[in-house]
Amino acid sequence: MKRLVLVAVVLSCLSTGCAHGPLISEPAAKSLVERGALLVDVRTPEEYGSGHLIGARNIPLHELEFRKDELPRNTDIVLYCRSGSRSARARAMLRAAGFSRVHNLGAMSNWK
């Protein structure tokens, strides 16, 4: 059932053209993180190991469905990846699972 929901969310996102969804600006993302938001890198462990934003936690997109219970529901979450595509899918997945305070920074390079 969980996989079916994940597939539906991803297909919905792709079919409606929300490739990267609404992005949070760099200043807004930094402000949230400074106030305690969780910064989550949804890239692979190998990508994360080659460099990541300071303070980011690595939860790869392909593991997120099974690890979403590790995330707080009462705290803002800022997601990022390499290009913004996986973080958009992660945001859609978490929002479908009831997380309301999820923000997509998009590409890691958006954090300067």
State yes or no: is 81 an active-site residue: yes
pLDDT of residue 95: 96
Question: What SS3 class is residue 99?
Answer: coil
Q: If you count them, how many residues does the chain have?
A: 112
Report, at the CATH architecture level, how domain 2-110 is classified. 3-Layer(aba) Sandwich (3.40)
- Give pTM, 2 decimals: 0.82
Instruction: With residue 103 as reference, give the H or E element that holds it.
Output: strand 102-107
pLDDT of residue 105: 98
Instruction: Give me the catalytic one of 40, 77, 78, 81.
Output: 81
Contact indicator for 37, 76 with CB cutoff of 8 Å: yes
111: tokens are: 């954090």
pLDDT of residue 21: 73
Task: Kindly write down the DSSP assignment for every residue of 23-89, as one continuous string.
Answer: BPPHHHHHHHHHTTPEEEE-S-HHHHHT---TT-EE--HHHHHHHGGGS-SSS-EEEEESSSHHHHH
10-residue block means of pLDDT along the chain (112 residues)?
51 46 94 98 98 98 97 97 97 97 97 94
pLDDT of residue 3: 62
